[in-house]
């Protein structure tokens, strides 16, 4: 099969361009398939309460709705493009809105900025609303699919990439880069070759993979920043690689440089706020995080924070409990109880308003750390000092 992708911002003519290309390719005697990438996080293909919806909620990994004239297959996960293409046996497949798969592209736009935002190596034509203003841009033809689809289709025939998706040589070739330290799971950083494009992902294997996958989808659906699921297979999750710099690492580095932790703490607080709002909707009042170790928060390249590791059941200890425990961790990584750490913990707790519940949780967290690590500290005295 031969594959292209049509990419562009919303309302720039992607679907119209694809409609015209499909019609012209069919006119030329080809079989044609298409894939639409839906970027709305709350999208659901099925309807609440239908029989197929009930099958999925009962735990079925894949459900098919078979009608007299149409059939629909529902997966309870985001399926990778190579795996989707294995279901196609057509001369041409046109992808709409797919930006993470290395095939030649047509960019639709309504302005120059729109072209620049989506143009990449492999773009061979521009289309969409901008074709009313331009005929060429940086050496690429700008074609109006409504009036000159034959010309655009000629280019598709020339530029579309042959894709082989048979099981033996497939599209996915993974190479292990490193193994992450994990008490409960086997977790690896792998590099996958997607038609010549190298992409790093996290492969996580464990008994609770399915449970964690469900939580990740639920949280992402409510806007919480967590790893995207690229695939799930039994006890294996294939996850977005979000980098390796944890909030723990970032705070340690910032202290070493004697810099202010304000931006890191602000990003962590923002993520926690999003999480608690979503958790209350999903899991009920006082829903909290099972493990608030600072290594379970990733500092992203853009300065925001994402949460990782959700395999454990959601506890209902309340927000104050988590906040106190996080502050206890902040105070006690080596070297413990420095002036910098005390200031950072104070700033963090101040944003949550303080209060006796948080103070009690901080004290309990310090007592647990004292027992577990065998360090000589006075949890009550430290709590009083930090909460002033």
Are the C-beta atoms of 130 and 116 separated by less than 8 Å?
Answer: no
Residues 6+ apart with CB under 8 A from 367: 379
CA distance 22 to 35: 12
**Listed residue (34, 119, 43) closest to 81, CA to CA:** 34
Write the CATH number of the domain with boundaries 174-240.
3.30.200.20
Q: Residue 174 pairs with which residues in a beta bridge?
A: 192
Are the C-beta atoms of 279 and 287 separated by less than 8 Å?
Answer: yes
Which pLDDT band holds residue 174 (cuts at 50, 70, 90)? low
What is the residue-wise DSSP string for 81-123?
Answer: HHHHHTT---SEEEEES--SS-S-EEEE-SSHHHHHHH--TTE
Q: Which residue has the higher pLDDT, 210 or 4?
A: 4
| Mean pLDDT of all residues in 18-23 | 97
Q: Is-cis flag, bond preceding 361, omega within 30? A: no
115-151 exposure pattern, b = at least 16 Cβ within 10 A, e = fewer? beebbeeebbbbbbbbbeeeeebeebbbbbbeeebee
Q: 357: which 2 tokens?
A: 């519940």
Q: Is the pLDDT of residue 166 over 70?
A: no
**Listed residue (51, 140, 32, 27) closest to 92, CA to CA:** 32
Q: Residue 35 pairs with which residues in a beta bridge?
A: 95
Q: What pLDDT is stored for residue 247 in this prediction?
A: 96
Residues 6+ apart with CB under 8 A from 262: 347
Are the C-beta atoms of 188 and 178 separated by less than 8 Å?
Answer: yes
Q: Is the pLDDT of residue 353 over 90?
A: no
The DSSP symbol for 68 reads: S
329 backbone dihedrals φ, ψ, rounded to 5°: -65, -45
Q: Is the pLDDT of residue 171 over 50?
A: no
Q: 324: which 2 tokens?
A: 């106190």
Which pLDDT band holds residue 7 (cuts at 50, 70, 90)? very high
User: Chain centroid to CA 199: how far?
Assistant: 14
Q: Is the pLDDT of residue 336 over 90?
A: yes
193 backbone dihedrals φ, ψ, rounded to 5°: -95, 110
| Mean pLDDT of all residues in 19-37 | 96
CA distance 162 to 98: 17
Q: What pLDDT is stored for residue 26 in this prediction?
A: 96
CA dist list (Å): 255 to 130, 211, 298, 377:
51, 36, 17, 21
CA distance 178 to 73: 35
Three-state DSSP at 303 gives coil
Q: Is the pLDDT of residue 169 over 50?
A: no
Q: What pLDDT is stored for residue 210 in this prediction?
A: 76
Q: Tell me if the domain spanning 2-162 has CATH number 3.40.50.300.
A: yes
| Mean pLDDT of all residues in 34-47 | 83
Tell me the per-residue pLDDT of 83-140, one tens digit each, with 9 for 90 and over: 788 889 899 999 999 887 778 999 999 999 999 988 988 899 999 999 999 999 999 9
Are the C-beta atoms of 335 and 251 separated by less than 8 Å?
Answer: no
Of the candidate ranges 123-132, 139-148, 178-187, 288-297, the one whose mean pLDDT is the lowest: 178-187
């Amino acid at each position: 099969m031969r594959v292209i992708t049509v990419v562009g911002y919303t309302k720039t003519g992607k679907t119209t361009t694809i409609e015209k290309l499909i019609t012209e390719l069919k006119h030329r005697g080809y079989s044609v398939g298409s894939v639409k990438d839906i970027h709305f996080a709350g999208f659901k293909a099925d309807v609440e309460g239908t029989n197929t919806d009930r099958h999925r909620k009962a735990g079925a990994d894949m459900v098919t709705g078979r009608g007299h004239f149409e059939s629909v297959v529902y997966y309870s996960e985001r399926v990778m493009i190579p795996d989707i293409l294995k279901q196609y046996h057509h001369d041409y497949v046109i992808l709409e809105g797919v930006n993470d798969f290395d095939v030649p592209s047509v960019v639709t736009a309504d302005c120059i900025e729109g072209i620049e935002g989506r143009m990449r190596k492999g773009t061979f034509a521009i289309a969409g609303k901008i074709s009313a203003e331009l005929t060429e841009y940086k050496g690429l033809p700008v074609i109006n699919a409504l009036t000159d689809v034959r010309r655009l289709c000629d280019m598709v025939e020339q530029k579309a990439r042959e894709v082989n998706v048979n099981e033996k040589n497939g599209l996915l070739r993974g190479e292990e880069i490193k193994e992450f330290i994990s008490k409960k799971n086997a977790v690896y950083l792998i590099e996958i070759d997607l038609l010549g494009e190298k992409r790093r992902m996290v492969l996580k294997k464990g008994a609770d993979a399915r449970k964690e996958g469900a939580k990740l989808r639920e949280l992402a659906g409510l806007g919480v920043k967590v790893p995207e699921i690229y695939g799930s297979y039994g006890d294996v999750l294939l996850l977005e690689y979000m980098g390796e710099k944890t909030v723990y690492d970032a705070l340690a580095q910032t202290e070493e440089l004697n810099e202010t932790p304000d931006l890191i703490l602000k990003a962590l607080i923002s993520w926690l706020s999003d999480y608690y709002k979503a958790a209350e909707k999903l899991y009920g009042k006082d829903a909290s995080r099972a493990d608030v170790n600072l290594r379970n928060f990733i500092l992203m390249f853009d300065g925001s924070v994402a949460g990782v590791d959700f395999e454990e059941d959601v506890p209902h200890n309340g927000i104050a409990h988590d906040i106190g425990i996080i502050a206890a961790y902040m105070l006690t990584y080596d070297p413990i109880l420095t002036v910098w750490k005390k200031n950072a913990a104070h700033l963090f707790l101040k944003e949550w308003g303080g209060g006796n519940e948080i103070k009690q949780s901080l004290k309990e967290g310090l007592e647990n750390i004292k027992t577990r690590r065998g360090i000589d500290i006075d949890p009550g005295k430290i709590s009083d000092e930090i909460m002033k």
